[in-house]
């Protein structure tokens, strides 16, 4: 029961983080948006670590750092895909792939489910597919580039779940601290390299209009959105980590893949993106699947 509640809650919060990440990526680029969000999450975790607790074990620190590198690739690809859009299709596609990878790993590694649990996983995967399936005429179709970015992100997100599942319970939030630190280091290094190349190529140009903070207006807003994304994202990851620690990897991974629910609802409310009837059916099945897995 606890695994289902934590995992589904984390998924919904994660969907909100992805929505913010996509908006930030449109203003800053996927790499810089990811870097700022990761740094924000790392600082927030360090501030909260005395309350959350956790032992600094060598294996857990290493696993956390490795997961951070994988996460940098996963989230960078995802935010790039969401920036291309449409969010309501590419986010669910990523979720399908991200659910299958750890589910297969967990079941192969010994996760055992009763008959109801097995059906629940099947319903959950069907729900994720339906959420991303938009057959109606007039629905926005994704580009080939967007599809490729989404699939790559899904594989990397699935690998992140597998790696974090290997950490010990005693480590608490320490692996997530290392995850965010490594993630931020990788993405800022890439952003710095890109900026250096751009500076060499661009020697002259008109100065952009600047805000009160000395930044172009859109970039200043993008940074604020990326900071909010980092705080929401780390909250989601704490919930998902709690789900991993409380139960099976396969259950947490599949329920965690429900995060498009948060993304598509916000995309519909804020960006006026269309949600097809079949997607609503998928959302309803997601709730049914969560109940079956909880039982």
Residues 208-264: tens digit of each pLDDT = 444 444 456 677 888 999 999 999 989 988 998 888 888 778 778 877 777 777 777
Report pLDDT for 281: 83
Distance from the first to the final alpha carbon of the chain: 6
205 inside domain = no
Give percent of the chain above pLDDT 70: 86
Whole-angstrom Cα distance, residue 201 to residue 132?
A: 40
Which pair of structure tokens corresponds to residue 64?
Answer: 């956390």
The predicted model scores a pTM of 0.75
pLDDT over 60 (residue 135): no
pLDDT over 70 (residue 88): no
Q: Number of structural domains, the chain?
A: 1
**136: CB partners within 8 A, 6+ apart:** 276, 277, 278
155 inside domain = yes
Which pair of structure tokens corresponds to residue 185?
Answer: 């280091």
Report pLDDT for 51: 86
Owning domain of residue 173: 2-197+217-294
pLDDT over 90 (residue 76): no
206 inside domain = no
What is the average pLDDT across 48-52?
Answer: 87
Report pLDDT for 136: 46
30 inside domain = yes
């Amino acid at each position: 029961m606890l695994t289902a509640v934590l995992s589904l809650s984390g998924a919904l919060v994660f969907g909100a983080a992805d929505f913010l990440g996509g908006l930030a990526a449109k203003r800053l680029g996927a790499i810089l948006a990811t870097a700022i969000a990761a740094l924000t999450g790392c600082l927030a975790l360090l501030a909260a670590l005395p309350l959350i607790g956790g032992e600094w074990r060598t294996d857990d620190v290493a696993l956390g750092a490795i997961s951070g590198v994988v996460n940098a690739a996963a989230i960078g690809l995802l935010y790039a895909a969401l920036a291309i859009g449409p969010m309501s299709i590419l986010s669910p596609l990523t979720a399908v792939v991200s659910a299958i990878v750890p589910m297969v790993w967990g079941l192969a590694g010994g996760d055992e489910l009763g008959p109801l649990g097995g059906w629940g996983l099947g319903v959950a995967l069907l729900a994720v597919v339906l959420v991303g399936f938009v057959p109606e005429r007039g629905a926005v179709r994704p580009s080939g580039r967007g599809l490729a970015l989404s699939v790559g992100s899904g594989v990397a997100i699935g690998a992140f779940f597998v790696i974090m599942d290997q950490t010990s319970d005693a480590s608490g939030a320490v692996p997530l601290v290392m995850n965010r630190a490594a993630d931020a280091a990788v993405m800022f290094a890439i952003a710095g390299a890109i900026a250096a190349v751009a500076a060499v190529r661009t020697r002259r140009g008109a100065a952009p209009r600047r805000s009160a903070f000395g930044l172009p207006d859109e970039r200043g807003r993008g940074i604020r959105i990326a900071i909010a994304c980092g705080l929401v994202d780390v909250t989601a990851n704490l919930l998902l980590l709690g789900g991993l620690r409380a139960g099976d990897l396969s259950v947490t991974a599949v329920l965690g893949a429900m995060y498009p629910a948060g993304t598509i609802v916000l995309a519909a409310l804020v960006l006026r993106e269309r949600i097809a009837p079949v997607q609503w059916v998928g959302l309803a099945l997601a709730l049914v699947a969560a109940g079956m897995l909880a039982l």
